[in-house]
Structures are given as C-alpha cells and as structure tokens.
Amino acid sequence: MDTMNFIPVLPLRDTVLFPGTALPLKIARSQSVEAVTQAQKANQRVVAISQKINSNSESVRAADLYQVGTLCKIEKIRGNATDGYQILLRGLETFRIEDIKENENGSLWAQGHPLQDVVENDKAMNEALLKSMKTSAQEILEHLPADTSQFSELLSGIGDLSFFTRLVASNLEIPSEKKQELLEMASVRDRVLVLLDLMQKQKVDLKVRGEIQEKLSRRVGKMQRESILREQLKTIKEELGETDGANDFEKYRAKFEEAGFPEDVKKVALEELKRLEAMGSASPETHVIRNYLDLLVALPWSKSSQEAGGTLGDLDLEEARATLQKDHYGLDTIKKRILQHLAVAKLKNSNRGQILLFVGPPGVGKTSLGQSIARALGRKFVRGSLGGVRDDAEIRGHRRTYIGAMPGRIIQAIKKAGQNDPVFMLDEIDKMGRGFQGDPASALLEVLDPEQNSAFLDHYLDVHFDLSKVFFIATANSLESIPGPLLDRMEIIELSGYTTAEKLHIAKNHLIPKQFSEFGLTAEQLQIPDEILLRVIHAYTREAGVRDLQRKIATLCRSSVERVLGEKVHGEAKSENPIRLDLNDVEEALGSERFVHEVAERLSPPGVVTGLAWTPQGGEILFVEANLMPGKGQLTLTGQLGDVMKESAQIALSLVRSRLASLIPDFEFDRKDIHVHVPAGAIPKDGPSAGVTMLTTIASALTGRSVNPKLAMTGEITLRGAVMPVGGIKEKVIAAHRSGIERVILAKRNQKDLKDVPEEVRSSLKFDFVESATDVLRIALGIETDQIVPSTGPAEPTSKRAS
C-alpha cells in the first residue's frame, strides 16, 4: 500500500488493537464516523491509534494519540453515517506515524510506515520461547472459570511466535498503556520475555482470586442460591400470570392494611418497603428486608381468640371444669387449683401477671394439662422449649444486622399461633443454661413481667409487641435449678406421679383409646385385659408418669394390628371374636420383663437396707450396703454420693459406735474398716435424707442381723440421734408402694406430708413415725439401745432439701 498517502485515523479508547487480531467496535463519535465513511472510499483502510488518555470527548486531537498504531481493514460494516456504524476491524500491521493532520471538519489523517518485527534467527530458541508461551497460556486458561477448551485448542495449533505474542497481548488482562508498550516493541524476543512475566503475574492473581472466590461463594452460596431461586420463582409466577413484578410492592401495601399494625409499626413497615423499592432486585439485602416484612405482616398484631369466643370475663367456669375433667383422670387438687386460677382471671377479666408453673416428673401430664387449659379457654396452644437455651438471643432474637438473624423463640411461637393471646407453654424452664452471651433467665423475666411485657422488644423485630394477653404456663421437672426471681413470678403447682391404680385408669380411659384411634383399632377387634395392663405397668415400666406406659401400649397395638388384619383376611368368623391379649403376647411384643419385682424377690443379707430417694424423675428405692473388713477403723464410701451424704455417713457411724458400744462390748472398732456403698442411680443423690438408712445399714452389718427388705426408710439424723424430716415424701412413698414395700419408717415431723399421698397407697402401707435413732434401730433390727432421749430443740436444723 502506498504509505505516502494519508489514511483516515480511528482513535481507540482504552484498548489497543494488535495486528492479526480482530476487534468489533461501535462507532458513534462524529469524528470516528467520518473516518469510517472516508475509509470506505479508500480501500477500507484505517489506522487505529489508541488515545493516551481515556477521554470521551467528541474531538480527539493529534496530540492525544500515541505515535504507533495499527493499520487495519474494516472487514464488516453495518449502519450508516447518520446513526453510526458497527464494524469489525482486523489488524494488518503495526504502523508508525510520521505525520498527522487535522481536516477543517475535525477528522484526522495520518501518514507513516509499517513497523517490521525484529525476529532472531535462532530457530531452536524461537521454538523454546513459543513452547513456554503456550504452557503459560494454557495454565492461565485452566484457572479461568469459563469453558476455555476451544480457545486452548486454537492456541496449541499456532506456529507463528510473533502472532502468538500479539494474540496473548491482546487477551491478557493488563492496562492499555502496557498493551501499547507491547505494540511498540519490535523485537519478538523482548515481547515474549515481557509477556512471560506478565502471564506469571496473572496466573498468581487468578489463583488467589479463585481461592477468595471459593471462600466467598461458600459463604454467600446459600444466600445467593436463595435469591436465585426466588428470582426464578418470580419468573415462573409471572409466566403463569400469577403476579407481575411491580405488583409485588402493592401486595405488601395491601397486606399492611390487613395486618392491623399499630401506628409505629406501620411507619417502620412503610419505611422498609420504601428501601426495598429503591433497591435493585439483585441485591442480596432485598431478601433480608422481605423476610422482615413477611414477619411483620404475619404477626397477630390485632388478631386474637376473642373474635371467635368471648373475653376471659365471659369464661364459663363449669365448662372449663368439664373440659379439664374429660381430658385428665384424677389430679383433683391440681384441677381445683387451675380452676381457681381461671376464676381469678375471669374476675379481673385479664390474666396479667399470673403464670402457672407445673412441676413434676416426665409423663405426668404437664404438657397435656396446658393443652386442656387452652381448649377450656378457646385459645390457641403453642409451645416453646427452653431446654438447652443458653443465650438470651434465643429468647429475644438477633439484631437484623447479623447474617442469618432470626426472631427469638417467643416471637416465633406467637407468629405460629397466629393470635396474640394464645396459651403459651414454656417447657423445661429448669433446663435453661447460662452462657457467656447473656442470661436467658433475665430475658425471660422481661417476657413474663406484666410491667414490661406489654411492650416486649425482640431484637430482630425491633418494634414493640404486646405480650400482655398471652396466657403463660411454664413446666419443669424440678424446682431446684429455676432462678429465684423467675420462681417468684409463678404460681407453683406440683404433680407428683401416679399410683398403679391411677395408671390403670389412665391407661384404660385415655391412653388406650388414644392409641386405638391412632392405629385404627376398635374395642371389637382388640382387648387388653386389666391384668395385662397391670403386668405392663409393673414389669415393663418404672416411672412416676405414664409416658413409658403410653409407649408400651403403642407397641402392643402396633404388634396386634397385623394379627387383627390377618384374621380378617383368613376368615370372617374369626374376626368377630376380639383378640384378647395374654401374657405371651405381651412377652412377644415387649420382650422379657424388664423390672423384676425387686423387693419381693430379694434375699436379705445383713448390711443391706432399703432406702427411699427423690429424683426429678419421681421417687425411687435404693439399696444401701455396708461391709466389714479387717482394718484400722476407717470409713470408705463409694457410689453416687454428694457431700451431704458423706457427712450423713460419718454421723451414722459415730452414732452407731456410741449407741452400740455397750451392746457389743467386745467389738473392736479400731481393727475393722467399714465400707458403705450407695448404688448408682440415674442422678447423683445429694441432700440429706439417707441418714437413717446408713445408720441402719452400718448397725446391721456390725450386729449381723438382717433387715426385712420390705421395710424402707427415709430421714436424716443428727449427731445427737434425733431423726429429722425430709422432703419428697409423697414421691418416695408412692415409689415404695410401687416396688412392693410393705412398711415405711418416716420422721415424726413428716407425718403431715402423708395427706398428699393417695389413700390407696397410704392404706396398703404400714408407717412408723420415729423421733430418734433408738426408735429406728428398734424397729429395723429389734435392738434396744440405751434409752438416751435425744434433744430435739430448736437448734437442730430442719432439712429442707429432698434427696
């Protein structure tokens, strides 16, 4: 081509076009449009020269351009001079500008000559350079997330080193000044060296970026996934004509109207909606706001049970009584207490500040009483378990600035209830922990405090919610680990467990009908006789409540279903007779008996005594053992003992030594060791209540006299030999009865506690109320010790804790 001629100049912004490569361009600036128009008249040739500064100005001056550009051919062209062009430029050769001139209409024209590549003549070296270029390029391609297999194939087929450098230079992610430098470099070898260096940097950069990306995407992955799914869902809905995007905000507005917001909440909701509207739908925060708005809309700000029924003031106490009566057998005093509670609420027409606390072993009906109350009041029932809650945020929620923040359990449960006055059961408040994050008990106090809970603030919700109409009921297995301030707020109702007769009733009238309907059985198909139920109660369960019994009955039903169905299939005649379960069926379904009647079948060697213990699971009997061996008068204790119990053992030993010394004068205390063992139970037994048992055990071992295994005892002793009252009498006595005990020794001052024990249990046991160690030894071992009457003055502490 004639280099003496001037060629139209096409200024390039922020890019460099290398010879051998192609570049699609949009031509809009009038100066450029003019250049392209002129080129069409002159062989489709233009000189593409990069601007030194990336300016968007309409008219580029000669001084704004580099000295070296690329002579190009316009390969394809679309559009026209008025609207602009779209062209595909192909670089032909590097072009050094010698002269450049501006026309009166502002268009630029350049004159110059091609810049020839300087290629070394060393063929082996060129090949080595090409090879390392290719290796580097392939490595970079591997690090790119997109599918690069085609491009990589293309690269491997290239044999021209000069072209390869240009292809790489134009595709590397480097600033355009750097590209310009490479364009101006005539030596191919120099270009290769610069490029190898740049590729190395790019490789490291890509690798680091990849790692960061991976970490990030792992974190953001879930959020992104959700927002992508949400987008897709929206598209699908739009396709189905169920909604259209803009309408979404209108829908929120409509929901706001229905939600019955208080004024301040409405304001917050509208503000958040405004933020949402201003935000692009791609922002991950939109879904945080949507979640929040959805919660606001879903909460029962003004929805209550009163729409359906009446207020507390209209409560029909008779009907409530009937509901409680129908749902639960027995529990008379408890039902009475509940009704009193409801009567007070009716009178005040509010349940403010009154919280019931049901305490008792598992499976005694705490939860189901709560459900019953909800039914009686015509309100929704919701539960929130506090077991294992250690962080107050679980109650009060996390601030929305946290990733994955959620409202606390209280607000979640209220949302689930859909009404702002449900019966809310706070289960397991005794299992609440205390973490370093804050004290959940104090958060709970805020929930329950009538002064504060009309404006409860959940951190996530961030606006006040009125909890004052909620009817709170708490449950616990034991009072011991409930913080005092919480306990002060509540009205404690203790449920202690059922006797065998009560369990039989509950099984027949409640548990079996429930299981039958669960399994689709009828009384015409399956009968479980009383003796079978009694056997299950005695030999397969050992519990204060009826949870395990319920499970066992379910197992019996399940294993019978097949038989019922089978007999129906094989003959009509047979199915008319109901199946009556017998002992074999029970053994087949439940396995062999799990609990032998421990006491009845027990031998009674000297040194073994039956004690009574209290645990959060109800009462329990336990066998305390003592043994003598040659030694130096030391006392060894093993088993599950707390500190208090160790002291009881010391006291018992001292008492025995002082009382029995006269009885067996030749006994050498200094030459014998005594070992007392309290067998492991479910929980460590702390607290003073095994004093009399240890006293009797040690005395029995020393004298070689056995104690009737059907005699059980509980009580504490003082060093002076007085027997002190202990707690948990009701549970202990019921447990004794359950285990086949016939006679029980109690402290005289515990006599009053027997009034809580069911008549049926009381009348089948013989009680001895004792005041001193002397009485105990006489009754248990038939030993008359010195009749020292111990003082039971006020100085002797009363044991309050049960063990």
Ligand X SMILES: Nc1ncnc2c1ncn2[C@@H]1O[C@H](COP(=O)(O)OP(=O)(O)OP(=O)(O)O)[C@@H](O)[C@H]1O
Which are the catalytic amino acids? 689, 732
**Per-residue x/- track, 784-803, Mg ion (CB under 5 A):** --------------------
Polymer length of the chain: 803
Q: How far is the CB of 547 from Mg ion (least distance, A)?
A: 9
Please choose which of Mg ion, ligand X, none residue 303 contacts, taking the beta carbon within 5 to 8 angstroms, the exact cut-off set by kind.
none
Please choose which of ligand X, Mg ion, none residue 148 contacts, taking the beta carbon within 5 to 8 angstroms, the exact cut-off set by kind.
none
Please choose which of Mg ion, ligand X, none residue 329 contacts, taking the beta carbon within 5 to 8 angstroms, the exact cut-off set by kind.
ligand X
Q: How far is the CB of 449 from ligand X (least distance, A)?
A: 25
Q: How far is the CB of 511 from ligand X (least distance, A)?
A: 6
Q: How far is the CB of 361 from ligand X (least distance, A)?
A: 7
Nearer Cβ to ligand X (326/800): 326
Please choose which of ligand X, Mg ion, none residue 733 contacts, taking the beta carbon within 5 to 8 angstroms, the exact cut-off set by kind.
none
Nearer Cβ to ligand X (365/709): 365
Rounded to 5 degrees, φ, ψ at 331 are: 55, 35
Nearer Cβ to Mg ion (415/547): 547
Nearer Cβ to ligand X (136/617): 617
Q: How far is the CB of 329 from ligand X (least distance, A)?
A: 4
Alpha-carbon distance values, 659 to 611, 663, 772, 774, 791 (Å) = 21, 8, 12, 8, 15
Please choose which of ligand X, Mg ion, none residue 94 contacts, taking the beta carbon within 5 to 8 angstroms, the exact cut-off set by kind.
none
| Dist. CA 55–CA 61, nearest whole Å | 11
* Residue 108, both tokens: 């630029």
- For the chain, how many helices (H) and strands (E)? 27, 24
Q: How far is the CB of 431 from ligand X (least distance, A)?
A: 10
Residue in the shown chain whose Cβ atom is closest to Mg ion: 367
| Dist. CA 506–CA 548, nearest whole Å | 13
Alpha-carbon distance values, 562 to 44, 172, 567, 569 (Å) = 91, 74, 8, 10
- For the chain, the distance separating the N- and C-terminal CA atoms, rounded to the nearest angstrom, is 109
* Residue 340, both tokens: 């009193």
Nearer Cβ to Mg ion (367/454): 367
Return the closest-CA partner of residue 674 out of 710, 658, 650, 690.
650
Q: How far is the CB of 515 from ligand X (least distance, A)?
A: 10
Exposed, middle or buried: residue 522 (CB in 10 Å: 0-12, 13-18, 19+)? exposed
Q: Three-state DSSP class for 154?
A: helix
DSSP state of 743: E
Please choose which of ligand X, Mg ion, none residue 362 contacts, taking the beta carbon within 5 to 8 angstroms, the exact cut-off set by kind.
ligand X
| Dist. CA 340–CA 345, nearest whole Å | 9
Q: How far is the CB of 621 from ligand X (least distance, A)?
A: 22
Please choose which of ligand X, Mg ion, none residue 447 contacts, taking the beta carbon within 5 to 8 angstroms, the exact cut-off set by kind.
none
Alpha-carbon distance values, 712 to 101, 342, 602, 791 (Å) = 119, 41, 13, 25
Residue in the shown chain whose Cβ atom is closest to ligand X: 365
* Residue 341, both tokens: 């509670």
| Dist. CA 180–CA 166, nearest whole Å | 11
CB 17 within 8 A of CB 179: no
Alpha-carbon distance values, 393 to 282, 384, 456, 483 (Å) = 30, 14, 14, 18
Binding site for ligand X (CB under 6 A): 328-331, 362-368, 475, 477, 506, 510, 545-547, 550
| Dist. CA 744–CA 729, nearest whole Å | 11
Nearer Cβ to ligand X (36/495): 495
| Dist. CA 428–CA 384, nearest whole Å | 9
Please choose which of Mg ion, ligand X, none residue 550 contacts, taking the beta carbon within 5 to 8 angstroms, the exact cut-off set by kind.
ligand X
Q: How far is the CB of 475 from ligand X (least distance, A)?
A: 6
Other beta carbons within 10 Å of 568 = 12
Number of residues forming the site for Mg ion (CB under 5 A): 1
Please choose which of Mg ion, ligand X, none residue 383 contacts, taking the beta carbon within 5 to 8 angstroms, the exact cut-off set by kind.
none
Nearer Cβ to ligand X (301/381): 381
Nearer Cβ to Mg ion (427/716): 427
| Dist. CA 492–CA 333, nearest whole Å | 13
Q: How far is the CB of 514 from ligand X (least distance, A)?
A: 7
Alpha-carbon distance values, 138 to 142, 159, 202 (Å) = 6, 15, 12
Nearer Cβ to ligand X (554/663): 554
| Dist. CA 381–CA 427, nearest whole Å | 13
Nearer Cβ to Mg ion (367/792): 367
Please choose which of ligand X, Mg ion, none residue 129 contacts, taking the beta carbon within 5 to 8 angstroms, the exact cut-off set by kind.
none
Nearer Cβ to ligand X (169/331): 331
Q: How far is the CB of 467 from ligand X (least distance, A)?
A: 23
* Residue 152, both tokens: 């990589």
Q: How far is the CB of 760 from ligand X (least distance, A)?
A: 15
Who's near 45: CB < 8 A, 6+ residues apart?
Answer: 1, 7, 8, 39, 71, 72, 73, 74
Q: Which helix (H) or strand (E) holds 86?
A: strand 84-102
Strand partners of residue 639: 678
Who's near 530: CB < 8 A, 6+ residues apart?
Answer: 504, 508
Other beta carbons within 10 Å of 432 = 25
| Dist. CA 638–CA 714, nearest whole Å | 19
Please choose which of Mg ion, ligand X, none residue 116 contacts, taking the beta carbon within 5 to 8 angstroms, the exact cut-off set by kind.
none
**Per-residue x/- track, 359-388, Mg ion (CB under 5 A):** --------x---------------------
CB 723 within 8 A of CB 651: no
Please choose which of Mg ion, ligand X, none residue 302 contacts, taking the beta carbon within 5 to 8 angstroms, the exact cut-off set by kind.
none
Nearer Cβ to Mg ion (367/478): 367
Question: Which amino acid, residue 694?
Answer: M
CB 194 within 8 A of CB 185: yes
Alpha-carbon distance values, 256 to 251, 265, 456 (Å) = 9, 10, 21
Please choose which of ligand X, Mg ion, none residue 328 contacts, taking the beta carbon within 5 to 8 angstroms, the exact cut-off set by kind.
ligand X
Nearer Cβ to Mg ion (111/367): 367
Q: How far is the CB of 566 from ligand X (least distance, A)?
A: 29
| Dist. CA 260–CA 255, nearest whole Å | 9
CB 299 within 8 A of CB 466: no
| Dist. CA 367–CA 390, nearest whole Å | 22
575 part of the interface to Mg ion, by CB under 5 A: no
Instruction: Give the HSE-up count for residue 182: Cα atoms under 13 Å, Cβ half-sphere.
Output: 30
Q: Which residues bind Mg ion (CB under 5 A)?
A: 367
